[in-house]
Homo-oligomer: A and B are copies of this chain.
Amino acid sequence: MGTAMSGAASVAPQGFELRGWSEQRLALVEQALSRWVVADAPAGLGDAMRYAVLDGGKRLRPLLVLAAAEAVRGNEAAALRAACAVELIHAYSLVHDDMPCMDNDVLRRGKPTVHVKFGQAQALLAGDALQALAFELLAPEDEDGVSATVQAALCRLLARAAGHEGMAGGQAIDLASVGQQLDEPQLREMHRRKTGALLRGSVMMGAACGDIGTAARAALSRYGAALGLAFQVVDDILDVTADSATLGKTAGKDAAQDKPTYVSLLGLERSRALAAGLLDEALAALGESGLPDTRALHALAKMVVDRDN
């Protein structure tokens, strides 16, 4: 499974099979999402919410939550709630991003986007309601065996990752950057917020489901930050190298929209080297965490960098 992009640190963890591990967890996540994103929200709102969330996506963020939670032997009920909550935030951001006043996308994963199918007003509301539902999932009344301390920590981490310091702030930079020349630190800052914050947030939410020391937490934060940036660098590479069919979305879109990317800034080869370096950074951080079993986190980081879509 080693590739030309990854160094010695990224040898696949022995005796660990990501596909089987993921399939088991994804079954739980899909079931939970289907239970929690209710169809009975009024006046078609529930249909739009379910359409936005169910049956789609790689579910990378939920898998990161669950992998981190397992690495810290965290509370399983809390981890499943956190996994679903972070996916709801991701899903709402796609619904709003696709709207005509933003990216004006009509297709996502080969299906009409939410505003095409349900109208712009319903899409706006569905996104808003999905964000609220994410926080509702994190703070259940019956507590589900999840302590108030963990509930509050999860709300804090998700709010920061989603808001102006994180995803929404990154999107604002993205809006302002079309046609602009960004340098590498500016591009990095945009992506740190826009996609990195929620990916790192997923790892930290998983970690918050257990009880670990400051050093392990800091190591997981470094892992999440490196993985988050690597994800975006690879996205930029795939936008240039993959075809639309493999990608499941329109390839070459960044260049067509005159958006700054790692490839436009660094070229393809240096972008690949950057991704490989970030993978090594992420895996080194896992080693420094002192946690006994980080195999799933290890395999997910490799998958992020080695993926072809």
List the 7 closest pairs (A to B, CB-CB), nearest first: A132-B163, A101-B120, A41-B164, A136-B159, A45-B172, A129-B168, A151-B152
Contact of A96 among B49, B128, B153, B168 (CB under 8 A): B128
Please tell me if A155 contacts chain B, counting CB pairs below 8 Å.
yes
Contact A169 B45 (CB under 8 A): yes
User: What distance in Å separates the Cβ of A72 from its nearest Cβ neighbour in chain B?
Assistant: 18
In the assembly, what is the distance between CA of A102 and CA of B124, in Å? 9
Listed by A's residue number, 14 A-B pairs whose Cβ atoms lie within 8 Å are A41-B172, A42-B173, A42-B176, A42-B193, A43-B176, A49-B164, A92-B128, A122-B172, A122-B175, A125-B175, A128-B131, A136-B159, A138-B155, A148-B148
Contact of A44 among B41, B132, B172 (CB under 8 A): B172
Closest Cβ neighbor of A40 among chain B residues: B164
In the assembly, what is the distance between CA of A176 and CA of B121, in Å? 10
In the assembly, what is the distance between CA of A57 and CA of B173, in Å? 29
**Contact flags (1/0) for A153-192 with B, using CB distance below 8 Å?**
1011011101111101111110111000000000000000
Contact B164 A38 (CB under 8 A): yes
Please tell me if A135 contacts chain B, counting CB pairs below 8 Å.
yes
Please tell me if A46 contacts chain B, counting CB pairs below 8 Å.
yes
In the assembly, what is the distance between CA of A131 and CA of B129, in Å? 10
Please tell me if A149 contacts chain B, counting CB pairs below 8 Å.
yes
Contact B101 A124 (CB under 8 A): yes
Name A's interface SS: helix
Please tell me if A99 contacts chain B, counting CB pairs below 8 Å.
yes
| Residues of B contacting A148 in the complex (Cβ-Cβ under 8 angstroms) | 147-149, 151-153
| Residues of B contacting A160 in the complex (Cβ-Cβ under 8 angstroms) | 132, 136
Contact of A156 among B141, B169, B170 (CB under 8 A): B141
In the assembly, what is the distance between CA of A148 and CA of B102, in Å? 37
Taking A42-B169, A125-B171, A135-B135 as given, write out 7 further A-B residue pairs in contact, using a Cβ cutoff of 8 Å, ordered by the A residue number: A42-B170, A96-B128, A131-B132, A135-B155, A135-B159, A136-B160, A139-B152
User: What distance in Å separates the Cβ of A305 from its nearest Cβ neighbour in chain B?
Assistant: 27
User: What distance in Å separates the Cβ of A282 from its nearest Cβ neighbour in chain B?
Assistant: 25
Please tell me if A133 contacts chain B, counting CB pairs below 8 Å.
yes
| Residues of B contacting A101 in the complex (Cβ-Cβ under 8 angstroms) | 99, 119-121, 124
Contact B128 A102 (CB under 8 A): no
In the assembly, what is the distance between CA of A168 and CA of B42, in Å? 9
Please tell me if A140 contacts chain B, counting CB pairs below 8 Å.
yes
| Residues of B contacting A127 in the complex (Cβ-Cβ under 8 angstroms) | 128
Q: Given A155-B138, A155-B152, do A164 and B124 touch, yes or no (CB 8 Å)?
A: no
In the assembly, what is the distance between CA of A64 and CA of B2, in Å? 60
In the assembly, what is the distance between CA of A136 and CA of B169, in Å? 14
Closest Cβ neighbor of A160 among chain B residues: B136
In the assembly, what is the distance between CA of A95 and CA of B149, in Å? 33
| Residues of B contacting A93 in the complex (Cβ-Cβ under 8 angstroms) | 128
| Residues of B contacting A129 in the complex (Cβ-Cβ under 8 angstroms) | 163-164, 168-169
Closest Cβ neighbor of A137 among chain B residues: B159
